[in-house]
Copies of this chain bind each other. A is one copy, B any other.
Amino acid sequence: LALDPIAEAHRNWTEHGWGDAADGMAFVTSVVRVHQLLLARIDQTLDPFDLSFARFELLMLLLFTRKGELPLGKIGVRLQVHPASVTNAVNRLESQGLVVRRPHPDDGRTTLARITPAGRRVARRAADALNAAVFTEPGLPSASATRVVAAFTALRRDAGDFAVRG
């Protein structure tokens, strides 16, 4: 096992005359790597449920919606994914019996995705599994995680990711 590759890259960047960007490079690379590690744990946990994280997020979104259904387009906006990805995910979930499509009553253009009773059961069990295997102990001290969330919320806000309350 080698030493920390990100620290090494930071050193290389500095020695290459890119000192001004070295910290930012290390930050971005850290995010990429931690994302990779977390996703691996998540995928492993969701494997028994035959769910990807993307499909899990879609299921939870419907679970937390009052009527248990949402237009496909709205799902894409909320989950920040491409319409084609929504179509694909809903196809899979529908073939698994966790979601059904139905036409919008008032607008013939839009399609609604509705979570089924089986979908609700799977969503709750998968969430329990993720909570136990990943979320309750994501890999850093609770105070540290909270600080990261705060810093990332500011970053996302500045990137125009969501509206500022006002």
Contacts and interface: CB of A to CB of B under 8 A. Distances in A.
Given A9-B60, A36-B80, 15 more contacts: A2-B163, A5-B162, A20-B136, A21-B136, A23-B146, A24-B131, A24-B136, A24-B138, A25-B135, A27-B140, A27-B149, A28-B42, A31-B38, A139-B158, A144-B151
A6 interface: yes
Interface of A: 1-7, 9, 12, 16, 18, 20-28, 30-39, 42, 53, 60, 64, 78, 80, 127, 130-132, 134-140, 142, 144-149, 151-163, 165
Contact of A152 (B34, B136, B154): B34
A35 B159 CA distance: 12
B140 A151 contact: yes
B27 A148 contact: yes
Given A12-B64, A149-B26, A153-B6, A37 B127 contact: no
Contact of A30 (B7, B32, B148, B158): B148
A131 B21 contact: yes
A61 B9 CA distance: 9
A24 B137 CA distance: 7
A16 B131 CA distance: 12
A33 to B, nearest CB: 6
Contacts of A22: 135
B135 A24 contact: yes
Contacts of A1: 160, 162-163
Q: Which of A20, A131, A139: most chain B CB closer than 10 A?
A: A139
Contact of A149 (B23, B127, B163): B23
